[in-house]
Structure 1
Amino acid sequence: MARAWLLTGRGIARKIKSGGGGGGSGGLQIKEDGGAESDRECPNCKQLIDNSDVVPSDWPGFPAGVKFDPSDVELLEHLAARIGLGDSKPHALIDEFIPMLEDDAGICYTHPQNLPGAEKDGSNAHFFHRISSAYAKGPRKRRRISRCGSSEEPAVRWHKTGRTKRVLDNAGVQKGWKKIMVLHESSKGVVKPDRAKWVMHQYHIGTGEDESEGQLVISKVFYQRVQSTAQSEEKSKTLIESVPQMEYAINSQVNGSDARGFSDLDEILVDTPPDFQLADLQFGSQENSMSWLEQY
């Protein structure tokens, strides 16, 4: 029978082959890491999986340096495929790059530093999640993050900054909306919360700027790194040292061979125009002037 693909919950596929005989050691077998063959059955249909014709070296994975960094439009395309909008279908491995957060609190179930794949190295982590309301009644969305420990932990919440922006493709067609949020932390007894370095870009599809209860959205979370004082001073020093070199380059271009064909502008003599005497000017009558014009 024809081969098929078995997709696990995380989207990784293993090759399987249908065959008769059901279970048992005499059925199909799987070969792991090029070693001895072993039996493995599908957790859904109990069919034994056959991977004996796949050499591990044939699946090298991605080379070093490859990263998942889609644009705003591409993220909305993944979201549209996830919710089944139109004829689009989600990529078979999309769950490996954009996992689904199943918690009822959505992305607010934990601090962003605890989200899977979120790092403080400036890289982006992407998530599918659903919007939940802050209260039983009212349109206000949940932005407050659940506390994982005691009540002495600082109160943490996402705070929307700026206006909700339309996301347009290259043809000017609107694909969805984008919200920018910044994490705020407020300790007990502190009136004004502190702005943290965690940032979230949230995207949704629809005609309205606001999401609805239970709506599926996609978010990009990253840690906004700030240059240290030493790095800033070194950058300023480099910029100051480069100013004389820039002036020299400009002077070289003006005074050198690039100055419109002149090898050196300093050799050009600029002087005042010569004086003229009124007696040297010759005047003619109007009749002579008209006769001269008639010749042409």
Structure 2
Amino acid sequence: MSAITLGAVRPRFRPRRISPARWGLYAFILITALYFLLPLYVMIVTSLKPMAEIRQGHLLALPASPSLAAWVKAWTSACTGLTCEGIRTGFFNSLRILLPSVVISIVVGSLTGYALSLWRVRGANILFGAMMIVAFIPYQVFIYPLVRVFSFTGLGQSLATIVTIHTIFGLPTMTLLFRNYFASLPVELFKAARIDGAGFYQIYARIMMPMATPMIVVAVILQTTGIWNDFILGLVFAGRDNLPMTVQLNNIVNSTQGERAYNVDMAATLLTALLPLVIYFGSGRWFVRGIAAGAVKG
């Protein structure tokens, strides 16, 4: 067969024309990306500039002589009120609040969701509905009653108090996520385990939780983001010795005397947001999988 014949039988693919609707979609995505990335860009370049360069007013210009001095000062010696020990104290306080709050809320929420999805507990639907109603009530409504309750019990402002608060407010969301995920699993697994003699906690620990890795990642990201970024609850319930990083950041930005060090403010803000960003970008694939898996059944 000649080359002409081969060329004649080859299918001809015409390039697809991009429709106006698709151009509009691309434009929308580009504008949205710029909307969120431009402030981040300004924060990064400002944090790398000395104050002499910032005073020139070139907001979007790259730093002529990049320096990490502002980052070092924000971490070690920026004033957060009466003390000038940087934002590192708030970082470790936030870790002390975050770790037990995330672990306890996920354990209790997954256990509750497991019970509500596979064990037919009397009044389970009423309990689940009540938890969902509470989840959509603004938590600011509960601040004063909770202050009175913890004051009456003698706990007051302490690490145990703020951990308890974050655990309580995280339970409805954690229960909803794990209930929906466990309800989407084949019920035959649960029945087979029951026939083999496994009890409530054995099925939970040996079968359900090992299969719930995507949902655990989702729960960790949601709880980490919510707890790490919290300001008002930490300010009210943590106490002076346990103030989280967000409160320390507010003190750095709003208690500056003399010249305002914008580079230090931007560096402190980026340091505060660093941990949730690292967790999210490091586990984004699992986050999408977990959200999709938990949305199969309601």
Q: What TM-score bracket applies, with the shorter chain setting the length?
A: under 0.3
Q: Under a length normalisation based on structure 2, what TM-score does the superposition of the two structures give? A: 0.20
Higher RCO (C-alpha 8 Å, min separation 6): 2
Between Structure 1 and Structure 2, the one with more helix by share is 2
Between Structure 1 and Structure 2, the one with more strand by share is 1
Q: Which has the larger radius of gyration?
A: 1
Q: Under a length normalisation based on structure 1, what TM-score does the superposition of the two structures give? A: 0.20
